[in-house]
């Protein structure tokens, strides 16, 4: 159940991006659901491999290169999903950061740990 709620939170975060950035387009909630699913799969399967392959650059940049990886993956997914458009790498960079912040904030608000209430 928690995974389903996280997926919905990520879709809502994607729907919020066009209101914050005119260079990001999400046509409808179904598109946001599909894009959130693909982003989740890409971040689970491809991102760890890219982080390992770029480890020297990531270490030299004190971890900041991970932001570039996130932006590239965000931009790549926008090319795969019809109705989800990010115009340029710079927009993808900022959108990936905003998406992470919005998702984190919503998850923090909506997904309370059971240990907190014990």
Residues paired with residue 86 on neighbouring β-strands, in sequence order: 24
Residues 59-64, mean pLDDT to the nearest whole number: 95
The rounded mean pLDDT for the chain is: 93
pLDDT in tens, 13-53: 999 999 999 999 999 999 999 999 999 999 999 999 999 99
**Sign of the C-alpha dihedral computed for residues 52, 56, 59 and 61 taken in this order:** negative
The pLDDT value given to residue 2: 87
The pLDDT value given to residue 114: 57
pLDDT: which is higher, 67 or 111: 67
**Structure token pair of residue 49:** 């491999």
Give the DSSP letter string of 30-79. Answer: HHHHHHHHHHHHHHHHTHHHHHHHTHHHHHHTTTTHHHHHHHHHHHHHHH
Report the predicted TM-score, pTM, of the whole model to 2 decimal places.
0.88
Q: How many angstroms separate the CA atoms of 43 and 61, rounded? A: 21
**Structure token pair of residue 101:** 């912040």
Q: How many angstroms separate the CA atoms of 2 and 6, rounded? A: 6
pLDDT in tens, 104-114: 999 999 887 65
Q: Which of 111, 30, 3, 42 is nearest to 11 (CA)?
A: 30
């Amino acid at each position: 159940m928690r995974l389903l709620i996280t997926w919905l939170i990520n879709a809502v975060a994607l729907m919020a991006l066009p209101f914050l950035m005119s260079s990001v387009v999400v046509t409808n909630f179904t598109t946001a659901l599909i894009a959130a699913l693909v982003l989740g799969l890409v971040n689970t399967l491809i991102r760890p491999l890219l982080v390992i392959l770029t480890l020297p650059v990531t270490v030299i940049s004190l971890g900041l290169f991970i932001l570039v990886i996130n932006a590239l993956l965000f931009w790549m997914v926008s090319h795969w999903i019809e109705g989800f458009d990010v115009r340029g790498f710079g927009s993808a960079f900022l959108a990936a950061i905003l998406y992470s912040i919005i998702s984190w904030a919503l998850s923090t608000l909506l997904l309370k740990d059971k240990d907190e209430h014990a």
